[in-house]
Amino acid sequence: MPHPEALTLDVREELRRGGEPLARILKTVDALRPGQSLRLLATFEPLPLYTVLGRKGFRHQAHQCAPGDWEVLFSPISTPAAAEKARPGSHQDTDTHDWPAPLARLDNRHLAPPEPMVRILEALERLPAGAVLEALNEREPVFLYPELEKRRAQIHTEPQSDGSVRLLIRRGLPQ
């Protein structure tokens, strides 16, 4: 049975303006017809989106057309029941009362995606197991959660009065 024609979503201009198109991408994915694919045009390879949409039952094929110009085809691979699994942005917010003070701090406000996530993951890798990183982001880092889960890191988020988010991230302990 042939797949319906892919729906194209171009988020390049929004990303160039420093916007965060995640909500629009997820809304578009939710509106796809059964079996329909999404053709996403972006300014970078959206690595964290692979995990998020993978949980919703999509595989991906990425192609860099030119520097700062990516095309990714997300195609459905599973049943509708599997696609309803964990929603992006859902995570267990951890109690930090027994955590040590942060060993490193990052101010990621005013950085364009995916730079805040890249900086957090790089800084976290430099910390010893069990150490805490504090980061300030302009928004909740929904793409970061699956990456932290893979690394067995814990996270605590605190919305700030200016709309930003303070993150405390504890590097995972060795097994």
pLDDT digit string (tens) for 76-87? 875 444 333 433
| Rounded distance between C-alpha atoms, residue 5 and residue 173, angstroms | 46
Angle at 62 between CA 56 and CA 63, to 5 degrees: 160
CA 11 to chain centre: 15
Residue 165 pLDDT > 60 = yes
Q: 88-144: per-residue pLDDT in tens?
A: 444 556 678 889 999 999 999 999 888 999 999 999 999 999 999 999 999 888 888
Other beta carbons within 10 Å of 73: 16
Per-residue pLDDT, 92: 52
| Rounded distance between C-alpha atoms, residue 75 and residue 175, angstroms | 35
Confirm if 151 and 131 have CB atoms less than 8 A apart: no
Highest mean pLDDT among 3-7, 47-51, 139-143, 151-155: 151-155
Ordered structural domains, the chain, with CATH: 7-83 (3.30.110.40), 104-170 (3.30.110.40)
